[in-house]
Amino acid sequence: MRFRSHEAKAETAVSTSRIVKLEQDILAKNNGYAEANRRYLSAYGIFALNLVSSPGSGKTTLLVKTILALNGTQPLAVIEGDQQTENDAARIRAAGAPALQINTGKGCHLDAQMVGQAMQQLGLQDDSLLLIENVGNLVCPASFDLGEAHKVVILSVTEGEDKPLKYPDMFSAADLMLLNKCDLLPHLEFDADLAIEYAHRINPRLQVIRISAISGEGMTEWLEWIREGCCNAAAAKPEASLG
Q: What is the pLDDT of residue 3?
A: 41
Average pLDDT, the chain: 90
Average pLDDT on 1-5 reads: 45
Q: What is the pLDDT of residue 20?
A: 55
Q: Which fold has domain 2-242?
A: Rossmann fold (3.40.50)
pLDDT band at 1 (very low <50, low <70, confident <90, very high): very low
Average pLDDT on 213-224 reads: 97
Where do the structural domains in the chain lie, given as residue ranges?
A: 2-242
Q: What is the pLDDT of residue 2?
A: 44
pLDDT band at 236 (very low <50, low <70, confident <90, very high): very high
> How many angstroms separate the CA atoms of 210 and 195, rounded?
11
| Contact present, 100 and 121 (Cβ < 8 Å) | yes
Q: What is the pLDDT of residue 83?
A: 85
> How many angstroms separate the CA atoms of 152 and 180, rounded?
12
Q: What is the pLDDT of residue 40?
A: 97
| Contact present, 147 and 47 (Cβ < 8 Å) | no
Sequence letter at residue 224: E
pLDDT at 136 over 50: yes
pLDDT in tens, 146-164: 999 999 999 999 999 999 9
pLDDT at 225 over 50: yes
pLDDT in tens, 64-89: 999 999 988 999 999 999 888 888 99
Total-model pTM: 0.88
Q: How many residues does the chain have?
A: 243
Q: Provide the CB-side half-sphere exposure for 76 (13 A, CA).
A: 29
pLDDT in tens, 93-128: 999 999 999 998 887 889 999 999 999 999 999 999
